[in-house]
Amino acid sequence: MDYYLIGAKLGHSYSKIIHERIGLYKYDLKEIAEEDLEEFFLKKEFKGLNVTIPYKEKVLKYLDEIDDKAKAIGCVNTIVNDNGVLKGYNTDYDGLKALIQQSGLDFTGKKVLILGNGGTAKTARAVLADLGASDILTVSRSGSNGTINYSEANLMHKDAYYIVNTTPVGMYPNVKDCPAIFFDDFKMLFGVTDVIYNPPVTEFVSKAKKLKIFANNGLYMLVKQAVRASELFTGIKQDDSLTDEIFKELSDSLSK
C-alpha cells in the first residue's frame, strides 16, 4: 500500500472511501501508536500520508520540508514522500475554509470562539483570521497557554458571532457527548461549525439547529482536504466539481 491515513484511532474515518472514489491510487487506514511513529517515518515505506488526531503537530519533527502555510499554522495533515524527502502540507486549511465559507456569513471584525487547542484549532485560527475575524479566542478545558476555559467562554464571551468545535467531543462512538457551550446565552451567535463528521449530526450541531442557528458538520471539509491532498500526491489538478460530487454521494449514503 502506498498511501495511508495515520492516526491513533481510525474507526470513525471515511477517508478510505473518499480516496478510493478519487480513484488514482490505493489507500488505507493505518493506526499507529505514538511510540511507533519514529520507526514508521524512518522506514518511509509510503508515497503519501494524511495525518489525523493526535499527530498533526507531532509529525513535524520527522519532515524534511514544510510548506509555508503549514509552517505558519504549526501543523501538518498531508505528507508527500518525494524520493525520500518528506514534505508536509496543511490541506485542512483548504477544507475548513471552504466549509466555513458555505455559511455565507461576513466575519469582518467579528468575535469567534474555537473549541480545542490541537492542530485543527490552529488551522481554524488561520482560516478565521484570513476571513476577517478580528477577535479569535481559543477555548480549552484548562484555560492555560493563552486559552480561556469554558466557564469564561460562557460568561464573558456571549457576544461571539461564530463558534468552531475542533475537539473530538461528540465523535463516534461517544455520540451523546457535547462541548460545554450554552447556546441559549449566545444571543449574537449566527453560526457554528463542528469539524466532526461522524455522526453527521452531533449534539453540538443539533443544539444549534434547534435554536435556528446556522450549523454544519465537517464532512465537506474532509472531502475537500482529501481532494487537495490527492493533487499533492499525484500532481493531477482536480476540478472543483469533484469535491461536490463526492460530498453529495457520501451524504446521500449516510442519510439512508
SS3 assignment, position 139: strand
Q: φ, ψ for residue 18 (rounded to 5)?
A: -65, -45
Q: Which helix (H) or strand (E) holds 232?
A: helix 219-234
How many residues make up the chain in this entry? 256
C-beta of residue 204 within 8 angstroms of C-beta of residue 165: yes
SS3 content of the chain, % helix, strand, coil (to 5): 40, 20, 40
Catalytic option among 30, 47, 56, 111: 56
Q: Which helix (H) or strand (E) holds 53?
A: none
Q: Is residue 56 among the annotated active site residues?
A: yes
Q: Which helix (H) or strand (E) holds 92?
A: helix 92-101
Grid coordinates representing 146 are 493563552
C-beta of residue 185 within 8 angstroms of C-beta of residue 173: no
Distance of CA 128 to the CA centre of its chain: 13
The single-letter DSSP state of residue 137 is E
Query: Which residues belong to the active site?
Result: 56
